[in-house]
Structure formats: C-alpha cells, structure tokens
Amino acid sequence: GNNIISGAVIPSSNAIGIHFYPIWEAASVEEWLYNGGPYQLIVFHFLLGVASYMGREWELSYRLGMRPWIFVAFSAPVAAAAAVFLIYP
C-alpha cells in the first residue's frame, strides 16, 4: 500500500515486472493498491503529459517557422525521467 504518513507512493512490485497493470486487471481494488497500481497510474500520466507537452513545443516551433531545438533539448531529461520512474523501481 501507500505510506500515508510520508506521502510516499509505493512503486510497482518487482514480482509483477514492468507491464501495464490497469485497475480492471486486478482481482480487487485492494490488490491493485497493494501491488503499486497508483504509482504506475501516476507515472504513466506524468510521462503522457510530458510527451504531449513536447509535442506542443514542436507544433509551436513548426507554426512559427522555428527550428525545433527546444523539443530536442527536452527529450534527454524525458528519457532520464522515464528510466528513473519505470526501470529503477
């Protein structure tokens, strides 16, 4: 489960492995909560939001006739964040 006192979100269990674990795949909500479902939900939404933001940066630079260097520059920290949030736990 999640640590209420420290506000920490417990990452997915290593026994599960790295795969998509939606709430409807679990036998119960308690199982989903115990096995790190909220962590995966938060991380996937974060990465989707960052990827969408990068897409908007590219679109804005394209419409303004600029070179998309901001999009390229921000892709390295996104790769690092993906590694930390998905591979590291």
Kindly give the interhelix angle for 75-82 and 37-63, rounded to the nearest 10 degrees.
Answer: 170
pLDDT tens for 9-43 read: 555 554 445 677 788 888 899 888 887 788 888 88
pLDDT tens for 47-79 read: 899 889 889 989 998 999 988 888 888 888 888
Asked whether the beta carbons of 85 and 65 are under 8 A apart, the reply is no
d(CA 29, CA 50): 28
End-to-end CA distance of the chain: 15
Q: pTM here? A: 0.64
d(CA 36, CA 76): 26
